[in-house]
Amino acid sequence: MFTRLDHVGIACADLEQSILFYRNTLGLEVFHQERNEEQGVVEAMLRLNGTDDGQSSYIQLLAPTRLDSPVGKFLRSHGPGLHHLALGCPDVDAVSAAVGDKRMNVLFRPPRPASMGSRATFLHPHECGGVLIEIVTAAG
């Protein structure tokens, strides 16, 4: 069903400071950066490596652009840190339907456009041991 760990999402208050930490401490560089007005975030994808399915694994840094965004609310409640775990798959529509058939709360049906042209949905953390899980299919 899943082919890789697509990315780990990290909520941060200051995107540039977080980028500097990952660059200076871990040697990771920004692979892609974008602003998502609908979700109220600005993000940076830091590429870790390639995977067996020809895609990559990333650390995704997320900073809110407004206080009422999901990441803004998360920061107020939890502070900076792990926001979500994203699992890559070849067909997000099929996988989210299969998981939904198991009575899981799939948050976006159909999956929505996401980072770098991908499509994604999420599983509610109340049903996943407190972890927000993203299911994602890379672009192309």
Neighbours of 5 (CB within 10 A): 14
Concerning whether 134 is annotated as a catalytic residue, the answer is yes
Reported confidence tier of residue 27, pLDDT bands at 50, 70, 90: very high
Tell me which of 39, 55, 83, 134 is the catalytic residue: 134
Domain covering 4-137, topology: 2,3-Dihydroxybiphenyl 1,2-Dioxygenase; domain 1 (3.10.180)
Reported confidence tier of residue 55, pLDDT bands at 50, 70, 90: confident
Tell me which of 7, 39, 55, 83 is the catalytic residue: 7
Omega prior to 110 cis, within 30 of 0 = yes
Concerning whether 84 is annotated as a catalytic residue, the answer is yes
Read off the pLDDT of residues 80-131 as tens digits, 9 standing for 90 and up.
999 999 999 999 999 999 998 888 899 999 999 999 999 999 999 998 889 9
Tell me which of 39, 55, 83, 84 is the catalytic residue: 84
Please give the model's pTM, rounded to 2 decimal places. 0.90
Closest CA to 118 of 48, 41, 32: 32
Angle, CA 91 vertex, CA 90 and CA 95 arms, to 5°: 115
Tell me which of 39, 55, 60, 83 is the catalytic residue: 60
Tell me which of 39, 43, 55, 83 is the catalytic residue: 43
Concerning whether 43 is annotated as a catalytic residue, the answer is yes
Which pLDDT score is estimated for 2?
92
Give the number of C-alpha atoms closer than 13 A to the C-alpha of residue 128, restricted to the C-beta side. Answer: 18
Which pLDDT score is estimated for 85?
96
